[in-house]
Amino acid sequence: MKLQQQQLEQAHTITRDLRAQIGNAVVGQDSTVDQTLAVLIAAGHVLIEGVPGLGKTLLVRALARTFGGEFARIQFTPDLMPADVTGHTLYDQNSGQFTTRRGPVFTNLLLADEINRAPAKTQAALLEVMQEGQVTIEGKSHQLEQPFMVLATQNPIEQEGTYALPEAQLDRFLMKVRIDYPEPDEEIEMVTRVTGNQVGETLNVSQVSSIVSPEDIVMLQSAATSVHVDDTVFDYAVRIVRATRNWSGVAAGAGPRGGIALVRAARSAALMGGRTFVTPDDIKMVALPALRHRITLTPELEIEGHSTDSVLERVLSDVKAPRS
């Protein structure tokens, strides 16, 4: 279905206003905010990598507040059990019946903090939620309310006591976003805000207003699916993904889901940019966060100081973009 001009203008206005409201709480980090919004509009999940204290939790709380959505946070630990994530059944002695206690996944935005600290069994439980949009408790399936998005965080430096995420779960994240230290002027503003007329270090989202509803976010997600993608752009996305599989120094390239992620994320970028069609530049803009967690470098390349981002940048420069 073709995206109508009225729908486009409405979607563009909403995304612009969402950015502005999040900016009332989150200082700087514009690319992180844009990429997170793109994942939400694409109805995907995002893995956010960064050291503690850069505002990951604040970003999620601010985003949830903009559309009046429910927010839940799980601190992943080595002793976290699947039932702590999804929920479980309890026997009620008063009624003599079993009742279901829903876990924190029954929300709109789920912050999975330090996801790589949980064992594989707990990660697998979250994988079902991400993949199926439902939770199975004692053999009974429970559908999640939409929109639903997992925002998982991990610390890139501290590896002690962590469990590497399985490739299948990594592949379920539409993007891997890297959040870095703010610029000097942004850091001054951040410190001024947090220490100004408030007790403690409470994350303050009081300046963020609820400007849309969860139904409006679902509408944005539907509008994104109608953004036109030309055959040449489809071909370009697939050529980029296929190039990673044969690239020197890449032990494992991106699978077909990498191309799907490129197109989905590029559609969101086009919608946020106020366009009814995807351009090759949209594909380039989302390529790093959409593919960096889908390729594995050889140990030799890592020893030489290369990163997945530097390899992907060389791939993008080598794969010719369509001219029209």
Indicate the angle between helix axes 231-245 and 256-272, nearest 10 degrees: 140
Question: Considering the entire predicted model, what is its pTM?
Answer: 0.86
Distance CA 304, CA 202 (A): 42
pLDDT, tens digit only, all 324 positions of the chain = 667 777 788 888 888 899 889 888 887 778 888 999 999 999 999 999 887 766 788 888 888 889 888 888 899 888 888 888 888 777 677 777 777 778 888 989 999 888 888 888 888 888 888 888 888 777 778 888 889 999 998 877 655 556 677 777 788 899 999 888 778 887 787 777 777 656 545 567 778 888 888 998 998 999 999 899 999 999 999 999 999 998 888 888 889 999 999 999 999 999 998 899 999 999 999 999 999 999 988 888 778 878 889 999 999 999 999 976
The residues spanned by each domain of the chain are: 227-324
Question: CATH topology for 227-324?
Answer: Helicase, Ruva Protein; domain 3 (1.10.8)
Distance CA 1, CA 86 (A): 36
Distance CA 234, CA 236 (A): 5
One-letter amino acid for residue 182 of the chain: P
